[in-house]
Amino acid sequence: MKIAVVGATGLVGTVMLKVLEERNFPLTELIPVASEKSVGKEITFKGKKYAVVSMDTAISMRPDIALFSAGGSTSLAEAPRFAEVGTTVIDNSSAWRMDPSKKLVVPEVNASELSADDKIIANPNCSTIQMVVALKPLHDKYKIKRVVVSTYQSVTGTGVKAVEQLMNERKGITDGPMAYAYPIDLNVIPQIDVFQDNGYTKEEMKMILETQKIMGDNNIKVTATTVRIPVMGGHSESVNIEFENDFDVTEVKNLLANTEGIILVDDPANLKYPMPKDAHEKDEVFVGRIRRDESLPNTLNMWIVADNLRKGAATNAVQIAEYLVKKQLV
Ligand SMILES: NC(=O)c1ccc[n+]([C@@H]2O[C@H](COP(=O)([O-])OP(=O)(O)OC[C@H]3O[C@@H](n4cnc5c(N)ncnc54)[C@H](OP(=O)(O)O)[C@@H]3O)[C@@H](O)[C@H]2O)c1
């Protein structure tokens, strides 16, 4: 089992290597790939040093699986070249997500859609992944009509440059590289990705369209406001869900607590609720603040937190790879 990690020197790629190591992924050969400027650079995996190779070298080695996190344009250009030599690509960028011929997968929700013919598989947007993990069991039970989500997203979602911007600002350095149009420390930026003609940002449209595709139900109405905040550990989401059918709040809590991949943290009396500090470096999705929306029938409020670099990116991709191996689809 030869595994290429494309973007191995980046934020997501680094976590990808950590997750592969922690979960003891059954690989026999690791192929770290990055841009030309990083070729030859050493990375460590399970105590062993590996030299970063170029895209062409990696393709010539015909990996079984390539985990991509090197940006959309790199993915559009390079993923098909890997697929051509028989590699199954699991891609973290937005390049292939809405392509009708590509599967968009969150293993807890729709891994069963995968087949050996899927040579490029898309990993959803980080904010979407953590939300659908919590929505799926509720949709199955009560049927979702509409979701209103507002996000509070970590700077780690933008990559290494954004983390540097925040850290520089916290140290009073004002002339460092800027990942955002504005200072992020002591600020909140209600824009993630570029604006579309309809006034939504691309991140907001990703949450709307990807949720419907993963859940396999275009009747689920979603509206989103995505916001960047000066936080590191993970993304948080305030989610309001209107159901077709009524629910019992205790039953909702039990349902979520018993869902694979979810940890329920909902004990207001003891000030227990999910926070990015606690989700940091964890693979699970944390859910709390569950309560009835008293302004509308059959409607629920909840708060969802996950480490965007883990379940929102690396862990989800590795779980897809684990599924492919388990089902002998690679
Ligand atoms: N951060 C998140 O929470 C998150 C979540 C989901 C998905 N994603 C997606 O994952 C991707 C990477 O994000 P990131 O945050 O890890 O960014 P990042 O820290 O900036 O890392 C980018 C990585 O891609 C490599 N790369 C860039 N251009 C390349 C090329 N032409 N050929 C080969 N490698 C190339 C870089 O190599 P060098 O070091 O050599 O430049 C680096 O390893 C993006 O598509 C992003 O949208 C990110």
Q: Which residue has the tokens 């290429």?
A: 4
Ligand 1 within 6 A of CB of 130: no
| Predicted TM-score (pTM) of this structure | 0.96
Closest C-alpha to ligand 1, atom 15: 159
pLDDT value, residue 73: 97
Nearest to 323 by CA among 280, 261, 279: 261
Contact (CB, 8 A) for 32 and 3 = no
- Residue 126 known to be catalytic: yes
Q: Name the token pair of 28.
A: 């026999």
Contact (CB, 8 A) for 300 and 58 = no
Residue positions forming the annotated binding site for substrate: 153, 228
Name the residue ranges covered by the structural domains of the chain: 2-124+313-326, 127-308
pLDDT value, residue 174: 85
The CATH homologous superfamily to which domain 127-308 belongs is Dihydrodipicolinate Reductase; domain 2 (3.30.360.10)
Q: Which residues, 6 or more positions from 26, have their beta carbon under 8 angstroms from its beta carbon?
A: 1, 325
Residue positions forming the annotated binding site for phosphate: 97
pLDDT value, residue 293: 98
Counting ligand 1 atoms within 8 A of each CB, the residue from 11, 42, 194 with the most, and so the one to mutate, is: 11
Tell me how far apart the terminal alpha carbons of the chain are, to the nearest angstrom.
9
pLDDT value, residue 248: 98
From the CA of 267, how far away is ligand 1's center (Å)? 37
| Residue 177: other Cβ atoms inside 10 A | 10
Low-confidence residues in the chain, pLDDT < 70: none
CA distances from 262 to 73, 108, 212, 286 (A): 33, 10, 20, 6
- Counting from 1 in the atom list of ligand 1, the atom nearest the Cα of 38 is 40
CATH class given for the domain over 2-124+313-326:
alpha beta
